[in-house]
Amino acid sequence: MKFSGQILKMISDHTKPIRYYLNLSEDLICMNQLFNQELSFQHIGYQCVSCGNDEPVYRMGFCKKCFFKSPYASDTILRPELSTAHLGIEERDLAVEKEIQLVPHIVYLAYTGEVKVGVTRESQIPTRWIDQGATLALPIARTRNRYEAGVIEVEIKKHITDKTQWKKMLQTQEKDIDIISIRDSIKSYLPKDYEQFYSSDEEVWKMEFPYEVPMNIEAFSLNKKSEFTGILKGIKGQYLCFEGGQVINIRGHEGYVINLSVS
């Protein structure tokens, strides 16, 4: 089988185990069906996820121009506390920013090799956790907009990391984590004016990945090595894992145009 197209992040279904689809232009390729098969990648160009031009990807799948102009690449994507749509203040495109920011958001704890705090739109559950490679997740606050969630996260991340360390996520064996007790212990970190958003009756989400921890892990990038061939052994987060422990971050390659062959 041969495919060609622009890489976007993998689409997932919350099944047991999680089912993944490689989003390659017009093709959705079920990756779970390709385990133990040989995959060959060839990087042949770029296509910006916003404007579609063929300039090299600068960051997050965007060309340099779009990265600094698109509302989908603004600072508020990574730093929700900077959101201003609730004040009617435009950063790049107020209509888009309202769609992103003025919807219910969730502050959550997730286990990705260690417990982290994060923010996501309510509509992105559980996709956000699957993308991060979280085996456990628990909403801890529900807010009316992105700004409110960001303010809560800022206070909590003074005590708990808000980063996912990809190597720790891929190398950590499954553990029993009392994430509810951790939630209870951090309630006092919420700003007083935001305690109303705290949620104490949430269920723990569990994610089961089609993945076994390899002996060693080595990441590769098609930016540095334009061709790669390997036998697919597992998937976790947005990482494909190959025989011998070589891994590639598919989301980190959004906007890359590739040829893919399966044998």
Mean pLDDT over each residue of the chain, to the nearest integer: 97
CA–CA separation, 125 and 43 (whole Å):
32
pLDDT of residue 134: 97
Token couple for 26: 């017009």
pLDDT of residue 26: 85
Phi, psi of 208, rounded to the nearest 5 degrees = -110, 115
pLDDT of residue 12: 98
Taking residue 56's Cβ as centre, other Cβ atoms within 10 Å add up to 12
- pLDDT band of 248, cuts 50, 70, 90: very high
Is 90 exceeded by the pLDDT of residue 176? no
- pLDDT band of 73, cuts 50, 70, 90: very high
C-beta of residue 177 within 8 angstroms of C-beta of residue 111: yes
C-beta of residue 148 within 8 angstroms of C-beta of residue 154: no
Give the mean model confidence (pLDDT) for residues 168-174: 89
Provide the residue ranges of all domains of the chain, joining segments of one domain with +.
2-50+211-262, 103-206
The residue among 243, 49, 254, 12 whose CA lies nearest residue 133 is: 12
- Tens-digit pLDDT profile for residues 49-61: 999 999 999 999 9
Phi, psi of 206, rounded to the nearest 5 degrees = -125, 135
- Tens-digit pLDDT profile for residues 21-70: 999 998 999 999 999 999 999 999 999 999 999 999 999 999 999 999 99
pLDDT of residue 173: 78
- pLDDT band of 174, cuts 50, 70, 90: confident
Pairing of strands 19-24, 227-236: unpaired
pLDDT of residue 233: 98
- Tens-digit pLDDT profile for residues 6-19: 999 999 999 999 99
Give the mean model confidence (pLDDT) for residues 165-171: 96
- Tens-digit pLDDT profile for residues 106-116: 999 999 999 99
pLDDT of residue 94: 98
